[in-house]
A and B are shown apart, each in its own frame.
Chain A
């Protein structure tokens, strides 16, 4: 039995790796995408282009604007002199923000009257707009505190001291890059498994396989193992790059991460094979793979938090294996988690994987044409 499985497995690897194009597709893109996405995917805002419209000629306004200019989050694009210049700049997205200092800004400040700053933001991307406003508001708060101290005003009754856990610099790369481990592992496993049975069905070789002494279980194992092996290798490679190239801290237990990876691969390979054995043609297999991949990735919490979804959709995400693995990856990397905090995340993936694999094996014989 073991020898038969190994023989079929070798054949599967040959089918994947002897064709140069197919070999390239499984190995090169994940590596390239890892590097590109690792740098690209982030909610950090650096060098947000902004324009200044200063109607005040006093020193205080210059001091205030210097604070914004000194921040690495903003880069001054242009200085404007009239109201009418604002709209064209923002409409064409040449700048994201216009900081408008009203006249008498300095005079008002010196006479202890409130001085006004108007901030006009491009709200097309509401998330960027909100983050930009938060940045600017904290610059203003800093300025206000310094001004109050310098000019002898009494302090506010209470002050906030904000600290963030696990990611002190609030670098959003640390959130996204560990997620790429899950993302690319899922894509690679789908590539390897989703078309494997469908291709043989279309070529007619699957019928031949079914009349050999191999039992469906053996075929199932032999078809599943390449996905597992390739998935484990690529995931390990990605994890190494995440730690040593992107310098995301690995604070938790590596075995806990690999148990997660194992259960995740189980569910991914299972689903891939299930799709593949339902499909009659490769076209249907591809469609199935897409239909599984796209919602799985978008509704996994990879980019947008599950907590923001409406309750109904949140319930739906419990059927999403990537949801659990993302929690495991991020907890192990950043929160330093170990098995005790994660056991609730492992079993749903394992159950899904076993169910999917069983369905795939059962379909091998039922769907014959």
Chain B
């Protein structure tokens, strides 16, 4: 075996020993294909599946339209629904049929044009249009209501021009949507998904490695060698870091090329932020592994503390600023929170330094704290 030149201890780390540890860990990774699968194949499959599957854009919503008495006015009104890509309208003639369809979950909403709809429009105006939405999924119901209002508003404009009775609308709203003008939910969900997936990958890669060594007794063997704790930690993190960055790169490529998420910020910021986050995620895995001592408990803890918090408390899908104050405070200990915010900003808004620096510092602090606890807990066992 070739002896490296830098044998001496630098900054308290012996690079030859570290090299040996990394090599051992790498062999273990290469020979057990499951961790290669975790790092490279898993993120691609998950991102592919979720990138397609997870969407908050309601399209082609089935809706029942009750037309009690057909007239020119009703068909004029219906045209708006027929042309809209948001609706799949089903025309029925009585309210009962529509209600039954709603109860059986065949339609998500009902629009009710009463018998005197046409007459009222021509005479007095102010004809009532009943709109009923299935409120079980409140978010979808609200979006649906917005769509119906949109169709109604366009119809109002159209009829006022056609009938020559100009309709006066006092306040007109001009909407300007920044960063994501076409309002594709995929544009913010895919960066969020990368954060959730990488949280999983990071924890999965390291959560069991130390626990396994303890269970098999190899950790004690390692402890009697001159190897220092910080070398063991580095020896565990470096190989998995390299693998994790591979997975991360694949995810970013998929996000931009496959899902067409715009990348407004710079690549190197993305790279630096991702590295920071990955180190945090790996340290968290190591911490679980060190604290749990057994693979069984480490596995259970990894399932509980990584996926669900990253899914629900990271702001990936549920808006953090609308949560109760206590919960908002609590989200500060979720590493994914910072990464989600950083990714969404770098992808959609660009290099907004105040956000990037804040998130980066938070991630670095978390990684540091995790690693310090790991180091302390490992020493105790000696």
Contact of A25 among B34, B53, B183, B301 (CB under 8 A): B301
**Does A236 count as interface, using CB distance less than 8 angstroms?**
no
In this complex, the member of B142, B148, B176 whose beta carbon has the largest number of chain A beta carbons within 10 angstroms is B142
**Does A313 count as interface, using CB distance less than 8 angstroms?**
yes
**Does B140 count as interface, using CB distance less than 8 angstroms?**
yes
- Which residues of B sit under 8 angstroms from A127, Cβ to Cβ? 56, 139, 185, 188, 317
A172–B138 CB distance below 8 A: yes
B38–A162 CB distance below 8 A: no
B102–A195 CB distance below 8 A: no
B134–A286 CB distance below 8 A: no
- Which residues of B sit under 8 angstroms from A334, Cβ to Cβ? 135-136
A92-B142 contact given A47-B321, A295-B49, A307-B61, CB 8 Å threshold = no
A160–B52 CB distance below 8 A: no
Q: What is the interface size of chain B, counting residues whose CB is below 8 A from a CB of the partner?
A: 114
- Which residues of B sit under 8 angstroms from A159, Cβ to Cβ? 126-129
B126–A175 CB distance below 8 A: no
**Does B54 count as interface, using CB distance less than 8 angstroms?**
yes
**Closest CB in chain A relative to B66 CB, distance in Å:** 14
Query: Which residue of chain A has the shortest Cβ distance to B35 in the bound complex?
Result: A283
- Which residues of B sit under 8 angstroms from A167, Cβ to Cβ? 135-136, 138, 141
B300–A144 CB distance below 8 A: no
- Which residues of B sit under 8 angstroms from A143, Cβ to Cβ? 170-171
A164–B307 CB distance below 8 A: no
Segment 29-54 of A: residues with Cβ below 8 Å from B: 29, 33, 36-37, 39-49
Segment 336-382 of B: residues with Cβ below 8 Å from A: 344-345, 348-349, 352, 354-355
A133–B102 CB distance below 8 A: no
B323–A39 CB distance below 8 A: yes
A133–B56 CB distance below 8 A: no
A41–B318 CB distance below 8 A: yes
CA of A47 to CA of B319 in the docked complex: distance in angstroms? 11
**Closest CB in chain A relative to B259 CB, distance in Å:** 12
**Does A304 count as interface, using CB distance less than 8 angstroms?**
yes
CA of A115 to CA of B132 in the docked complex: distance in angstroms? 31
**Closest CB in chain A relative to B152 CB, distance in Å:** 6
CA of A334 to CA of B141 in the docked complex: distance in angstroms? 14
A164-B135 contact given A46-B322, A47-B321, A159-B127, CB 8 Å threshold = yes
**Does A131 count as interface, using CB distance less than 8 angstroms?**
yes
| B interface, over-half SS | helix
A299-B352 contact given A22-B296, A125-B319, A159-B128, CB 8 Å threshold = no
Query: Which residue of chain B has the shortest Cβ distance to A33 in the bound complex?
Result: B308
**Does A293 count as interface, using CB distance less than 8 angstroms?**
yes
**Does B79 count as interface, using CB distance less than 8 angstroms?**
no
Segment 139-165 of B: residues with Cβ below 8 Å from A: 139-143, 145-146, 148-149, 152, 156, 159-160
CA of A91 to CA of B127 in the docked complex: distance in angstroms? 44
- Which residues of B sit under 8 angstroms from A304, Cβ to Cβ? 53-56, 189, 317
A124-B179 contact given A37-B312, A162-B145, CB 8 Å threshold = yes
**Does B17 count as interface, using CB distance less than 8 angstroms?**
no
A131-B139 contact given A47-B321, A161-B130, CB 8 Å threshold = yes
**Does A59 count as interface, using CB distance less than 8 angstroms?**
no
- Which residues of A sit under 8 angstroms from B187, Cβ to Cβ? 126
**Does B27 count as interface, using CB distance less than 8 angstroms?**
no
**Closest CB in chain A relative to B291 CB, distance in Å:** 9
Q: What is the interface size of chain A, counting residues whose CB is below 8 A from a CB of the partner?
A: 118
CA of A168 to CA of B171 in the docked complex: distance in angstroms? 28
**Does A208 count as interface, using CB distance less than 8 angstroms?**
no
Interface flags for A38-80 (1: CB within 8 Å of B; 0: not) read: 0111111111110000000000000010000000000000000
A157-B169 contact given A37-B312, A40-B318, CB 8 Å threshold = no
In this complex, the member of B129, B141, B181 whose beta carbon has the largest number of chain A beta carbons within 10 angstroms is B141
A195–B177 CB distance below 8 A: no
A90–B178 CB distance below 8 A: yes
B208–A283 CB distance below 8 A: yes
A161-B322 contact given A119-B174, A298-B54, CB 8 Å threshold = no
Query: Which residue of chain A has the shortest Cβ distance to B168 in the bound complex?
Result: A153
**Does B46 count as interface, using CB distance less than 8 angstroms?**
yes
**Does A229 count as interface, using CB distance less than 8 angstroms?**
no
CA of A122 to CA of B49 in the docked complex: distance in angstroms? 27
A156–B125 CB distance below 8 A: yes
- Which residues of A sit under 8 angstroms from B188, Cβ to Cβ? 124-127
CA of A126 to CA of B347 in the docked complex: distance in angstroms? 14
A160-B135 contact given A134-B142, A309-B52, CB 8 Å threshold = no
B174–A41 CB distance below 8 A: no
- Which residues of B sit under 8 angstroms from A116, Cβ to Cβ? 171-172, 174
B126–A29 CB distance below 8 A: no
A22–B126 CB distance below 8 A: no
CA of A298 to CA of B175 in the docked complex: distance in angstroms? 32
- Which residues of B sit under 8 angstroms from A202, Cβ to Cβ? 295
CA of A155 to CA of B77 in the docked complex: distance in angstroms? 17
**Closest CB in chain A relative to B336 CB, distance in Å:** 13
In the assembled complex, 29 residue pairs joining A and B whose CB atoms fall closer than 8 Å, in A order, are: A19-B294, A21-B294, A29-B304, A40-B313, A42-B323, A64-B171, A114-B171, A124-B188, A124-B348, A127-B139, A129-B180, A129-B183, A134-B142, A134-B145, A134-B146, A148-B170, A155-B126, A164-B134, A164-B141, A164-B145, A199-B295, A286-B299, A287-B204, A289-B299, A298-B311, A307-B108, A310-B53, A335-B103, A335-B136
Q: Which 6 A-B pairs have the closest CB atoms?
A: A167-B135, A164-B135, A123-B180, A43-B139, A286-B299, A172-B138
Given contacts A91-B349, A93-B355, A124-B348, 11 further A-B contacts (CB under 8 A): A93-B345, A137-B146, A155-B126, A160-B129, A163-B133, A168-B135, A286-B302, A297-B307, A307-B58, A312-B52, A317-B53
| Chain B residues within 8 Å of A, Cβ to Cβ | 34, 37-38, 42, 46, 49-50, 52-59, 61, 77, 102-105, 108, 117, 120-121, 125-143, 145-146, 148-149, 152, 156, 159-160, 167-181, 183-185, 187-189, 200, 204, 207-208, 212, 292-297, 299-305, 307-308, 311-313, 317-319, 321-324, 326-327, 330-331, 344-345, 348-349, 352, 354-355
